[in-house]
Amino acid sequence: MSSIEHIQKEFEEAVEKVRKSLSSESIQTLKVKYLGKKGKISGLMRSMGSISPEERPVFGKAINKLRDLANDSLQNIQDLLQHQEIEKSTSYSSLDPSLPGHRIPTGAIHPLNRVKEDIFSFFTGLGFEIERGREIETDWYNFEALNIPPEHPARDMQDTFYIDDKVVLRTQTSNNQIHVMESRKPPLRIIAPGFVYRADSDASHAPMFQQVEGLVVDKDISFAQLKGTLYIWVRHMFGFDVKLRFRPSFFPFTEPSAEMDVSCSLCKGKGCRVCSQTGWLEIGGCGCVDPNVFQKAGIDAEEYTGFAFGFGIDRITMIKYGIPEIGLLTANDNRFLRQF
């Protein structure tokens, strides 16, 4: 018995020593010395033969206990060593959560195009086709075919840039309506995005801005469906609690014509600076396709009806991101672009 107690004591002292200066070598040495094939604990096992049969079970139990204890102690300092090594394996003595990380440079998509792509995915998901038209247009497509004859006062509604008497920078994306209706047969479901131009420039008007035009032509298309379609779209764009309202207006190529307002998402309709205290933001115009437009495009206005809508992507982007001035969108200022 005393030999077991002796070895146990000796082992425990050795473990303490190794614990103070941990290394994988000293642990290994210890392991070999006590638990190796020729180790001291294994030696005790071998000495079983010289023990009387009566004492043998007690002696055997005591050795097993010592072996388990040794195994545990060694595992313990092994874990300790591993833990110390992990702690050491860093180039930082301590971390500073407030230090910025090293960042791979990232860029950004222009907010206007983010909104544009969002609009595309929404409407393509509904089965609309994207149509891209030209920006410099003949008088025919920009005005006449849209029911705006040369001496119509509606021409005053838009300040037009002219290239010559018969060629203009398009003032609206509605020119696409005509191109599409001339080249295809109904049913039509079209989204036509693009830049449009107005000879006007101040804090809320840019001489160039982006519009999206929608056109649906089929046998039973109604104003009620126009309202429903726009309603699901504004909910997609501005959230489920948005409200939409329609005011009578005038566009030569639609009748009835309406302006649409959404409830101000910043003040939830209570009134703020952005919505000029009205609680509403004007986002675009819409209406049923005027029979004259169908006629000019060669579509039977008795058989087919349709609706069209157009809104400024700039305006929607400004509302969505709280951008106060339209000029910021085209200033190409890092301090602006970085924020998106």
DSSP state for residue 157 in the 8-state scheme = G
- Do the beta carbons of residue 14 and residue 26 sit within 8 Å? no
Which residue in the set 267, 301, 328, 337 belongs to the binding site for Zn ion (CB under 5 A)?
267
Size of the site for Zn ion (CB under 5 A): 6
- Rounded CA separation 76/55 (Å): 32
Q: Which does 98 bind (CB under 5 to 8 A by kind): Zn ion, another protein, none?
A: none
Residue tagged 């195994």 (tokens): 71
For residues 86-105, which are near another protein according to CB under 8 A? Answer: 99-100, 102-105
Q: Which does 264 bind (CB under 5 to 8 A by kind): another protein, Zn ion, none?
A: Zn ion
Which residue in the set 7, 275, 308, 318 belongs to the binding site for Zn ion (CB under 5 A)?
275
Q: Which does 206 bind (CB under 5 to 8 A by kind): another protein, Zn ion, none?
A: another protein
Which residue in the set 58, 163, 241, 295 belongs to the binding site for another protein (CB under 8 A)?
163
Which residue in the set 4, 208, 266, 272 belongs to the binding site for another protein (CB under 8 A)?
208
Sheet holding 167-169, edge to edge: 136-138, 167-169, 162-164
H/E stretch holding 59 reads helix 56-88
Token couple for 245: 């309202």
Q: How far is CA 85 from the centre of its chain?
A: 41
- Rounded CA separation 309/288 (Å): 9
Q: Indicate whether 212 belongs to the interface with another protein (CB under 8 A).
A: no
Q: Indicate whether 331 belongs to the interface with another protein (CB under 8 A).
A: yes
Backbone angles phi, psi at 310, to 5 degrees: -150, 135
Q: Indicate whether 228 belongs to the interface with another protein (CB under 8 A).
A: yes
Q: Indicate whether 273 belongs to the interface with another protein (CB under 8 A).
A: no
Q: Indicate whether 152 belongs to the interface with another protein (CB under 8 A).
A: yes
Inter-CA distances, 124 with 47, 80, 131, Å:
86, 61, 11
Token couple for 248: 């009578």
Q: Indicate whether 169 belongs to the interface with another protein (CB under 8 A).
A: yes
At its nearest, how many Å lie between another protein and the CB of residue 85?
25
Footprint on this chain of Zn ion (rule: CB under 5 A): 264, 266-267, 272, 274-275
